[in-house]
Amino acid sequence: MKSALNAEPDHHAMPAHCRNCGTAVSDNYCPRCGQETRLNMPSFVEFAHEFISHYVALEGKLWGTFARLLFRPGALTNEYLAGRRRRYVEPLRLYLTLSILFFALVKFSGAEMFRTTVDASPPVVAGSAGGDATREGEDNVRIGDALSPEVKRWAPAVQHTVERFDIMSNKEKGEALKSGFFRYAPYAMFCLMPVFALYLKGLYLGTGRRYGEHLLFALHTNAFAFVMFTAFAAMPDGFIKFLLFCWLLGYLPWAMQRVYRKGVFGTAWRWVVLMVLHLLSLAVAILLAISLGVALAA
């Protein structure tokens, strides 16, 4: 029998003092530093639980956050601005969680973001046998044909990248596009959050709203968009997907009206301008992201 001096400490028992700061404790948490008083020995389950709850946020507050995020446009932003924050997932964590889930689902589920026609024909080769150029196929898209003379003159590096992309097979083009999208698009979309908030700041000048409030609204609405994109990628075409698209289309103006409290006309024209500006910015950012992938693959 082990002596009392050699016995291992019982981490499940209530200690007299906090093991972290030494403060006298009588409850499950230390009143000074907040650490739990009853500690479990490290295990794989504990590490997995900590990762999921603190980094992926797939439990607890997320499910309470979902109800307002998905079904009550703008309500989550109003709750945060009203100071009711502890019961919901932090805006940045919510956005990052949903964006990670979306890109992981699309990348590992086999859902196609880019549809390309795979042709077994060889790429374009000048001066092939018989004196005629070999073509990959009538449906092979050539970006170089659409370049303006100004681009060829002032951006020869872009022209060179496009030319290398044009001689790829359709299969190689699809892989290059996918590589660029998954490698850079998440960063591009994240970097557009401050731009989206800046558009809102300009559209609502004179309302007294600070830039941080617009950024909060941008995080929540774009987190909702990632939920919709994930649903689109996961389900087949049909009536349900059409309903989700309609909800996605109407969500933003509804949220704008609820948060910024403008009339129907005031919300409508701001929504149109915001959509035009954001879609243009998003298109440019994603095209640049894909171009980087193409340049590396070419």
What's the pLDDT tens digit per position in 174-214? 676 666 666 666 677 788 889 999 999 999 998 899 999 99
Across the range 117-139, mean pLDDT stands at 44
Residue 58 lies inside a defined structural domain of this protein: no
Residue 251 and residue 104 share a domain: yes
Note whether 98 and 234 are same-domain residues.
yes
Q: Count how many residues are written for the chain.
A: 298
56-60, 252-256, 264-268, range with the lowest pLDDT:
56-60
Position 50 in a domain: no
Domains: count for the chain: 2
31 and 103 belong to one structural domain: no
In a domain, 146, yes or no: no
Is 283's pLDDT higher than 50? yes
- Judge whether 266 lies within some domain: yes
Residue range 105-109: mean pLDDT, rounded: 73
199 and 232 belong to one structural domain = yes
Statement to judge: residues 26 and 109 lie in one domain: no
Q: Crossing angle of helices 170-203/91-109, nearest 10°?
A: 160
pLDDT at 200: 96
Could you tell me if 219 and 275 lie in one domain? yes
Q: How far apart are CA 64 and CA 71, in angstroms?
A: 12
| DSSP helix/strand/coil, 248 | helix
Is residue 175, in this structure, part of any structural domain at all? yes
pLDDT at 112: 56
Full-model pTM: 0.64
Q: Are residues 19 and 99 in the same domain?
A: no
Average pLDDT for the chain: 75
Assign residue 24 a region (left: φ > 0; alpha: ψ between -120 and 50; beta: otherwise). beta
163 and 144 in contact (C-beta within 8 Å)? Answer: yes
Residue-level pLDDT at 123: 45
271: its two tokens: 């929504």
Position 134 in a domain: no
What is the domain extent for residue 33?
12-41
User: Quick check: is 156 in a domain?
Assistant: no
Residue-level pLDDT at 219: 94
> Are residues 94 and 28 part of one domain?
no
- Shared domain for 223 and 292, answered yes or no, is yes
pLDDT tier for residue 163 given thresholds of 50, 70 and 90: low
Q: Is residue 144 part of a domain?
A: no
